[in-house]
Chains A and B, each alone.
Chain A
Amino acid sequence: MKRAILLAAASGIALTGAAHAEDSITVVSWGGAYTKSQVEAYHKPWMAKTGGKIISEDYNGGLAEVKAQVEAGNVTWDIVDVELSDAIRGCDEGLLEEIDHSMLPDAPDGTPAEEDFISLALHDCAVANIVWSTIFAYDGSKYTAFDRPRSMADFFNTKKFPGKRGLRKSPKANLEMALVADGVAAADVYDVLSTAEGVDRAFAKLDEIKDSVVWWESGAQPPQLLADGEVKMTTAYNGRIFNAMASEGKPFEIVWDGQVFDVDLWVIPKGAPNKEAAMDFLAFSTDTQRLADQAAWISYGPARKSSAPLVGAYNSDPDLEMGPHMPTAPANFMNAIANGFEFWADNQDELNERFNAWLAS
């Protein structure tokens, strides 16, 4: 009996040892439909190719966990999907590994990676995989064909379109959208927002709808709020709304006017336990084919120019072309704002404080 236990213990040790010998990495992303698109397009092919294992974890954005892990010297995450402003800030604060861009594969036609990626995509510590966008959406079945919201101004007009609004509980994107609704051209938004009067103007616009706002925090909430009828319109990440439409048949409609687009990027926390494998995964998952594959699962645009022609139809519906649903499609891009990460790096302390005070008052 004793021997059997010993044997079991020994084989247990051998098993865990074996698992460590292979490349096993922890990939952290935003959960829901988005993580699923990455699992299908990146994780599974990478595991098939290298024989490594991927542990997929969800989080809600922000640098807090990365900072806590790095500062405690106990890093368990190998690679994390972050927003642009966090990638820049994390790099500046020394929380992230630097990434050598020369290890990224070239496009199939031989264009070097440095040129193939869109602007905004490559940074010292981060490589972008997708372009996503904050848009607003409504439930099409609640409005008649003639009388439905068409512009950002309609979102802020509760007289013409009564009912609750969903907004992300953060000043980011909200202040920009408020200014667009107030008549500022997308290209001038950050110039206006850089002045004290501009900030007052944005908050004044938000004041108009404050009493009808339901605040959301995680990306999975807005489609749920819409489906439950808790709100009439909500801002959301475009891919989440698209997936509710495409895979669950919800009658949602996206309004692209005043969209705030941004990139999501892979970063590697400083001192990641499996840095080599994480780097390999990073290079693999951002090659031309993988980025194009991901677009079949969620309507986020690939961060490489060479991926665009390869983007096909939705995975479960060959008639549903993904191209027109991308934030970067020309028709959607008419009045788009590029997230001003430098503006937010400088002003987020002050604007977050003001936003919180405004919320609580």
Chain B
Amino acid sequence: MTDASYQVDAVHRTQTDASGLLLAADGTPLKKKLREALKVSRRRAFLLVAPLLLFIMASFVIPILLLLAQGVKDSTFSSIMPESTAILSEWDAKSDPSEEMAAALVADLISAKATDRSLATKVGTRVNREVSGAISLFKKTTRKASKMEAPFLDALHATDKKWKDPAYWKAMKIASQTITPAYYAAAVDKKYLADGSFVDQPEDRQIYVKLFVKTILVAGGVMLCCILLGFPVAYLLAHLPARKANLLMILVLLPFWTSLLVRTTAWIAMLQSAGVLNDIFVWVGITTDDQRFSLIYNMTGTIIAMTHILLPFMILPIYSVMKAIPPSHVRAAKSLGATNWTAFWRVYFPATVPGIGAGGLLVFILAIGYYITPALVGGQDGQLISNFIAYHMQKSLNWSLAAALGGILLVLVLILYWLYDRIVGIDNMKLG
């Protein structure tokens, strides 16, 4: 049979309908048949991962979304003070506070006090985030609210002269908004005003933008240090004879398996001014006893300890990529006249880039959210944004601000991931 007749035969065996669509043996279009077959296997795959998916949704995704929602939603004020919320939303935040606003405030405070005496202070705590002094003002006013008589504005002024200050009314207007940009504004050093505009925080209270920049710089610095230190180690691991390489591998993995806390504390013993390293410096004569180097409780300590802790995350991906590069490539390059350097730089190194990319991304993303190590060895200038998220969760109890900061950090990581995908390509990444 010739080629031509074979083709003719093949066309004859597949049926086509009037519009030229391919049909299966039973007459249904082939595409539909194929889709059905795939649907079954897709459903089976979905059922297999469903338990994990449910678990992740319930324990990870939904809590994260709920917490992120706290960054824009705060119903403390509006739920406890319904009448004031209604009236404040109509106030233009420019004219003087009206008698109706005062009456609504007193009525809300009386009904809040009747439900639970802690409610009014909750409101005070919320308003206090906008303007200092609101907690004691609300406590005092709540105590006297039930005895107040119209006109309420004068009664409030008589209770505390702070009520003459429009700042407290404006702060209440901000607090009364259930969906509020106030926390995200605070997270980028802006202040949200009652008239809906934003201004910069005073100079001496600006902190978060600088911290975000600092966090990214530190994470980038740690990533670079890890590449510089990790690449030669990975090279050795991949090219030493098996026995020696295994020993080296254990040296890489042992710290990897050791508790993070132990490793960080060990660095404290090494680097503190009465520590091992400084003792050696003094003994060798690099420095004198009263001029020991400050290697810890500052940025230096943070970078040293973080680099050490994250190093395995760089070495292992690079190592696995190097292991897969056939040695014949470099030999071929050399046999074609390349010098050692050219063979390495033009042939070997490009093949390791997926490993460096994977390690770099891993280290960078871990470093950007690093918390324990900076907290322990960071001192005052080695603190990163995650330390402040923890601070607002644990100390100041301002969970909404923590959520806003966390939300921004999440977006930053996603942007960096997208950039990485555009520049290096995510398919180019090799984890092992």
Closest approach, in angstroms, between the C-beta of B126 and any C-beta of chain A? 10
Cβ proximity bits B315-337 to A, threshold 8 Å, 1 near / 0 not: 00000000000000000000000
Cβ of B79 under 8 Å from chain A: no
Closest approach, in angstroms, between the C-beta of B190 and any C-beta of chain A? 13
Closest approach, in angstroms, between the C-beta of A269 and any C-beta of chain B? 13
Chain A residues within an 8 Å CB radius of B134:
346
Cβ of A229 under 8 Å from chain B: yes
The answer on a CB contact under 8 Å between B119 and A345 is no
Cβ of B211 under 8 Å from chain A: yes
Chain B residues within an 8 Å CB radius of A348:
396
- Evaluate whether A228 and B135 lie within 8 angstroms (CB atoms) in the complex, with A214-B379, A356-B391 already known: no
> Closest 6 A-B residue pairs measured CB to CB?
A94-B118, A92-B121, A357-B207, A64-B394, A350-B132, A359-B380
Give 6 CB contacts A-B under 8 Å. A92-B118, A92-B121, A94-B119, A215-B380, A360-B380, A360-B381
The answer on a CB contact under 8 Å between B133 and A356 is no
Closest approach, in angstroms, between the C-beta of A72 and any C-beta of chain B? 12
Chain A residues within an 8 Å CB radius of B132:
346-347, 349-350
- Evaluate whether A230 and B272 lie within 8 angstroms (CB atoms) in the complex, with A67-B397, A94-B116 already known: yes
Assembly CA distance A93 to B119 (angstroms): 7
Question: Which of A63, A203, A214, A345 has a CB less than 8 Å from the CB of B136?
Answer: A345
Which B residue sits closest to A163, measured CB to CB?
B290
The answer on a CB contact under 8 Å between B122 and A93 is yes
Cβ proximity bits A90-102 to B, threshold 8 Å, 1 near / 0 not: 0111100000000
Q: How many interface residues does B have (CB within 8 Å)?
A: 38
The answer on a CB contact under 8 Å between B129 and A349 is yes
Closest approach, in angstroms, between the C-beta of A150 and any C-beta of chain B? 23
- Evaluate whether A93 and B121 lie within 8 angstroms (CB atoms) in the complex, with A342-B136, A347-B132 already known: yes
Cβ of B249 under 8 Å from chain A: no
Closest approach, in angstroms, between the C-beta of A215 and any C-beta of chain B? 6
Cβ proximity bits A218-245 to B, threshold 8 Å, 1 near / 0 not: 0000000000111000000000000000
Assembly CA distance A354 to B205 (angstroms): 5
Cβ of A353 under 8 Å from chain B: yes
Chain A residues within an 8 Å CB radius of B297:
214-215
Cβ proximity bits B210-221 to A, threshold 8 Å, 1 near / 0 not: 110000000000
- Evaluate whether A349 and B396 lie within 8 angstroms (CB atoms) in the complex, with A91-B118, A93-B125, A354-B205 already known: yes
Q: How many interface residues does A have (CB within 8 Å)?
A: 33
The answer on a CB contact under 8 Å between B274 and A353 is no
Chain A residues within an 8 Å CB radius of B388:
356
- Evaluate whether A349 and B273 lie within 8 angstroms (CB atoms) in the complex, with A64-B394, A94-B119, A360-B381 already known: no
Which A residue sits closest to B118, measured CB to CB?
A94
Chain B residues within an 8 Å CB radius of A358:
204
Question: Which of B379, B393, B396 has a CB less than 8 Å from the CB of A352?
Answer: B396
Assembly CA distance A91 to B120 (angstroms): 12
Cβ of A51 under 8 Å from chain B: no
- What total of A-B pairs shows CB separation below 8 Å? 85
Assembly CA distance A262 to B24 (angstroms): 87
The answer on a CB contact under 8 Å between A357 and B205 is yes
Cβ of B383 under 8 Å from chain A: yes
Assembly CA distance A215 to B273 (angstroms): 15
Assembly CA distance A62 to B380 (angstroms): 20
Residues of chain B at the chain A interface (Cβ within 8 Å) = 116-119, 121-122, 124-125, 128-129, 132-136, 139, 204-207, 210-211, 272-274, 297, 379-381, 383, 388, 391, 393-398
The answer on a CB contact under 8 Å between B133 and A346 is yes
The answer on a CB contact under 8 Å between B122 and A349 is no
The answer on a CB contact under 8 Å between B136 and A357 is no
The answer on a CB contact under 8 Å between B393 and A64 is yes
Which B residue sits closest to A169, measured CB to CB?
B380
Assembly CA distance A229 to B204 (angstroms): 33
Chain A residues within an 8 Å CB radius of B116:
94
Assembly CA distance A308 to B128 (angstroms): 39
The answer on a CB contact under 8 Å between A93 and B118 is yes
Chain A residues within an 8 Å CB radius of B133:
346-347
Closest approach, in angstroms, between the C-beta of B124 and any C-beta of chain A? 8
Assembly CA distance A63 to B135 (angstroms): 17
Chain A residues within an 8 Å CB radius of B129:
349
Which B residue sits closest to A359, measured CB to CB?
B380
Chain A residues within an 8 Å CB radius of B396:
348-349, 352
Closest approach, in angstroms, between the C-beta of B387 and any C-beta of chain A? 10
Chain A residues within an 8 Å CB radius of B206:
357
Which B residue sits closest to A91, measured CB to CB?
B118
Closest approach, in angstroms, between the C-beta of B405 and any C-beta of chain A? 12
Cβ of A75 under 8 Å from chain B: no
Closest approach, in angstroms, between the C-beta of A28 and any C-beta of chain B? 15
Closest approach, in angstroms, between the C-beta of B377 and any C-beta of chain A? 12
Chain A residues within an 8 Å CB radius of B395:
62, 64, 352
Closest approach, in angstroms, between the C-beta of B143 and any C-beta of chain A? 12
Assembly CA distance A40 to B153 (angstroms): 56
Cβ of A213 under 8 Å from chain B: yes
Closest approach, in angstroms, between the C-beta of A227 and any C-beta of chain B? 10
Assembly CA distance A348 to B381 (angstroms): 22
Question: Which of B118, B125, B211 has a CB less than 8 Å from the CB of A360?
Answer: B211
Closest approach, in angstroms, between the C-beta of A218 and any C-beta of chain B? 11
Assembly CA distance A57 to B117 (angstroms): 30
Closest approach, in angstroms, between the C-beta of A232 and any C-beta of chain B? 11
Which B residue sits closest to A343, measured CB to CB?
B136
The answer on a CB contact under 8 Å between B273 and A356 is no
Which B residue sits closest to A92, measured CB to CB?
B121
Assembly CA distance A359 to B298 (angstroms): 12
Instruction: Count chain B CB atoms within 10 A of each CB in A63, A346, A354 and give the residue with the most.
Output: A346
Assembly CA distance A89 to B122 (angstroms): 9
The answer on a CB contact under 8 Å between B122 and A94 is yes
Closest approach, in angstroms, between the C-beta of B356 and any C-beta of chain A? 32
